[in-house]
Amino acid sequence: MAVPKRRLSRANTHHRRSNWKSDNVALQNVKVDGREVQMPRRLVKAAKLGLVDLD
C-alpha cells in the first residue's frame, strides 16, 4: 500500500536547497573562420557548421 511521504520542515528544506550549486560551463578554445573563440563544448559542432552566431 502506498504511504505518503513525510513533510520536511521549512528549515530542513532551506538547508538542503542552500547547498545546491551549479557548475560553470567548461569553455573550449575553437578556431572558427580563422579566429579563436571560446565556447561550450556542446556548441562547437554547431559553430563549425555556421548554425551559431559568434558575435
Split at pLDDT 50, 70, 90, the class of 4 is confident
Grid coordinates of 30: 575553437
- How many residues make up the chain in this entry? 55
Rounded to two decimals, the pTM is 0.49
| pLDDT, tens only, 17-51 | 888 888 888 898 988 888 898 999 888 899 888 89
Split at pLDDT 50, 70, 90, the class of 2 is confident
Residue indicated by cell numbers 505518503 = 4
Rounded CA-CA distance 1/46 in Å is 50
